[in-house]
Each structure stands twice: as C-alpha cells, then as structure tokens.
C-alpha cells in the first residue's frame, strides 16, 4: 500500500510541469485568440486559428517545457534556484516558439503580425514571469502545497 502512495506522488511530480505549462499556455492562447477575433481579423479562417491557438500551441509548449523541466530540474534542484532555472528555459523555449508563430503569421496573416508586430513581441517579459511563477509553484514548499490543494 505504501508503494502505491509513493508511486502516485512521484507520478504527480512528473506530471505537474506539463500540466502547469499546458494550462498557462492554454489560458494565454485563449486571450490571444479572443483579441485576434474581436480586434484584429474577425472570424476569417476561424478553424485554423482555433486549431493553432487552442490545440497545437498549448500541447507543444506544455510538452516541450514539461519534458525539459523533468529532465533537467526535477530531482536535481529545489527552491529559488529551481524557480529561476525554470524561468530561464521558459524564456528561451517559449520565446523561440513565439518568434516562430510571429514569422508563420506574417506568412498566413491569421493574426496580422505584419501590421501589429508588437502584439507578438510584448510577450517576452511575461513569458519569463510565467516560467518563474511555475517554478515557484513546482519547487517551493508553499507552491507545492497550493498545487496539492488545487488537486494537481
């Protein structure tokens, strides 16, 4: 019985990075999609916008960051250092993803990146803040308590 509880705890430790980055990415992409629809381009190419923002981006970003955090930080670091070490790869990886999306959108025009480049580029400081915040939740005692209360 003790082995099952230990296994369940280990499982949650390895799932949390993916879930946090997936949820944060999904939340951000919902906002970006809403702004794209209501302010920038309307419902033109709506299926592609929805698939891009609500399916592929959150899964890709959550999977990439979850894998990196599990490989290089979980079981290796804890505390504030781990939170900073979570913010740095988040900034690098998710900024690269953002820049890729910016360049793809300049080609496809779904969110008018050519006319509104700052809509894409203002996000870089927020990317680091989300990564660091996730690191606080994952690697600080109070953050882990909060995740446990949330059922994660």
- pLDDT, tens only, 64-74: 999 999 999 99
The percent of residues in the chain predicted with pLDDT above 90, rounded, is 82
Query: In whole angstroms, what is the distance from residue 29 CA to residue 135 CA?
Result: 20
Using the predicted structure, report yes or no on whether residue 48 has a pLDDT greater than 60.
Answer: yes
| pTM, full prediction | 0.89
Plot region of 9 (φ>0 → left; ψ -120 to 50 → alpha; else → beta): alpha
Write down the pLDDT at residue 38. 92
Closest CA to 22 of 69, 88, 80, 78: 69
What is the model's pLDDT at position 3? 86
pLDDT tens across 20-41, in order? 999 999 999 999 999 989 988 8
pLDDT of residue 9: 83
How many degrees, rounded to 5, is the angle at CA 73 between CA 149 and CA 19?
A: 40
Task: Please report, rounded to a whole number, the percentage of residues in the chain having pLDDT higher than 70.
Answer: 99
The per-residue pLDDT for range 102-128, each reduced to its tens digit, is 999 999 988 999 999 999 999 999 999
Q: What is the pLDDT of residue 1?
A: 57
What CA–CA distance (Å, rounded) separates 129 from 149? 22
d(CA 43, CA 18): 30
What local confidence, expressed as pLDDT, does residue 118 receive? Answer: 93
* Spatial distance between the Cα atoms of 8 and 69, rounded to a whole number of angstroms: 19
pLDDT for the residue 7? 84
């Amino acid at each position: 019985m003790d082995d099952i509880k230990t296994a369940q705890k280990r499982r949650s430790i390895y799932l949390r990075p993916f879930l946090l980055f997936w949820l944060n990415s999904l939340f951000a992409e919902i906002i970006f999609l809403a702004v794209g629809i209501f302010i920038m381009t309307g419902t033109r190419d709506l299926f592609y916008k929805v698939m891009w923002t609500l399916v592929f981006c959150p899964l890709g970003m959550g999977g990439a960051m979850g894998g990196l955090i599990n490989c290089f930080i979980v079981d290796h670091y804890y505390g504030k250092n781990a939170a900073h070490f979570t913010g740095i790869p988040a900034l690098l990886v998710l900024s690269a993803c953002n820049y890729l999306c910016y360049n793809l959108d300049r080609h496809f025009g779904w969110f008018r990146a050519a006319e509104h480049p700052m809509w894409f580029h203002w996000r870089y400081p927020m990317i680091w803040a989300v990564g660091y915040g996730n690191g606080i939740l994952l690697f600080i005692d109070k953050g882990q308590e909060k995740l446990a209360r949330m059922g994660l």
